Amino acid sequence: MTLNMGPQHPSTHGVLRVVLELDGETVVKAKPIIGYLHTGMEKQAEYKTYTQSIPQTDRMDYLSPMSNNLALCLAAEKLVGIEAPARAQAIRVLLTELTRISAHCVWLGTHALDIGAMTVFFYCFREREKVLSIYDQVCGARMTASYFRVGGLSSDIPAGLLDRCQKFVDEMPGHTDEYETLLSKNPIWLARTKEVAPLSAKDAVALGATGPVLRGSGISWDLRKAQPYCHYDRYDFDVPVGAAGDAFDRYMVRVQEIRQSTRIAGQAIQKIREMGERGEYRLRDFKYVVPPKEDVKTSMEALIHHFKIVAHGFFPPVGEAYHAVEAPKGELGFYFVSDGTPRPWRMKVRAPSFVNLQTLPTLIEGRLVADVITAIGSLDIVLGEIDR
């Protein structure tokens, strides 16, 4: 029997369609069909300046806008050959780690809801809401942040933000314990996730899986450790790794990542405090980076730079660069080909969900239909990013 699942199915986390060929209750063949949310972001980017593409990235993986902004900015910075000041990097680390916590909270809540544990959803969304209000205070938007810029940040962090983040970081370990109390030893949860949808380390690598999906299969690979950016090498954190590669291991890896992200965020707050509650937040290289607004109001030269960069965009050298970050879903990379004009000749997005979803047939073929929901949930996909 051929069964069509989606694109409008609540457990497919968006508009994923899976065509399942069944023999009784066993899945013989599965084919994911994607593209329902395709908006041609890569094409549109060729008609926009680098900075104008930043709001587009918020709409890719809409659960982790800051990570997407960061990936684009770092790729453009690599292309141009500049680096943001240390204080801006620490703020980036703080916000992307909070993003990871909120993205994992959404994942955990919805994944548990799919499997039937409804309570977790409310707990997780409570914490996610706190992160979203922090975004709101930082940049005025709850979900579409567009806060990072090439060379730094769009503005300095507001007063009182660090205290608020500190409070969140202090509370979060307790909340993570709450989630674990509800799930980690829950017999129903264990029955639904243990030995379900396993992915061997060999398959994970061959299929290009990254992020918690790869780490759940027992491979310790985290770009923050392996190829550090934003001075991640100066932070103390562990990379949680699974063993069996089943849905439960992926769950455990993500829950541990929430704890590790909380640790990193705490260290980032410390670093920002050491460098000053207010201070440098953007590189002072006015060929590529807009001068601070305060200067624009007082200095003629700054005003001219501001006008040139806002009206035309900056002119990167002719060349190309690829930079990847460890987004909550895995390796998120941007590849730019520049022809020396303010608009990229080509922007390619290496979206982690797109690649991770490819493992779905391996996960579910030969298994029960009921496990398909668990498998999709445990991959943590966002269709906005898959379809771009």
149 DSSP β-pair partners: 152
Task: Specify the residue, 44 or 186, whose C-beta has the smaller distance to another protein.
Answer: 44
For the segment 173-212, give every residue that binds another protein (CB under 8 A): 205-208
Sole binder of another protein in the list 20, 70, 76, 79 (CB under 8 A): 79
CB of 4 to another protein, least distance (A): 15
Determine the size of the site formed for another protein (CB under 8 A): 42
CB of 65 to another protein, least distance (A): 21
Task: Specify the residue, 37 or 162, whose C-beta has the smaller distance to another protein.
Answer: 37
Structural tokens at position 292:
């601070």
Give the contacts of 206 (CB within 8 A, at least 6 positions apart). Answer: none
Give the pairing of strands 152-153 and 2-5: unpaired
Quick check: 356 and 381 in contact, CB under 8 A?
yes
Give the burial string for 67-93 (b: 16+ CB within 10 Å, else e).
bbbbbbbbbbbbbbebbbbbbbbbbbb
Distance in angstroms (rounded) separating the CA atoms of residues 202 and 219: 10
Structural tokens at position 35:
């593209």
Distance in angstroms (rounded) separating the CA atoms of residues 327 and 349: 13
For the segment 81-110, give every residue that binds another protein (CB under 8 A): 81
Residue 160 gets the label, from left (phi > 0), alpha (psi -120 to 50) or beta, of: left
x-marked contacts with another protein along 307-346 as a string, rule CB under 8 A: ---------xxxxxxx-x------x-x-x-xx------xx
CB of 54 to another protein, least distance (A): 19
Distance in angstroms (rounded) separating the CA atoms of residues 151 and 373: 42
| Eight-class DSSP state of 282 | B
Using CA atoms of 213, 9, 63, 170 in order, give the dihedral in degrees to the nearest 10: -80
Task: Specify the residue, 124 or 347, whose C-beta has the smaller distance to another protein.
Answer: 347
x-marked contacts with another protein along 222-261 as a string, rule CB under 8 A: ----xx----------------------------------
Distance in angstroms (rounded) separating the CA atoms of residues 314 and 290: 9
Sole binder of another protein in the list 6, 64, 69, 78 (CB under 8 A): 78
Task: Specify the residue, 125 or 315, whose C-beta has the smaller distance to another protein.
Answer: 315
Structural tokens at position 307:
């006008």
x-marked contacts with another protein along 11-40 as a string, rule CB under 8 A: -----------------------xx--x-x
304 in contact with another protein (CB under 8 A)? no
Quick check: 17 and 7 in contact, CB under 8 A?
yes
CB of 333 to another protein, least distance (A): 7
Task: Specify the residue, 232 or 335, whose C-beta has the smaller distance to another protein.
Answer: 335
| CA distances to 20, 22, 327, 364 from 370, in Å | 12, 12, 29, 10
Binding site for another protein (CB under 8 A): 34-35, 38, 40, 42-44, 46-47, 78-79, 81, 205-208, 219, 221, 226-227, 316-322, 324, 331, 333, 335, 337-338, 345-346, 348, 350, 354-355, 358, 387-388
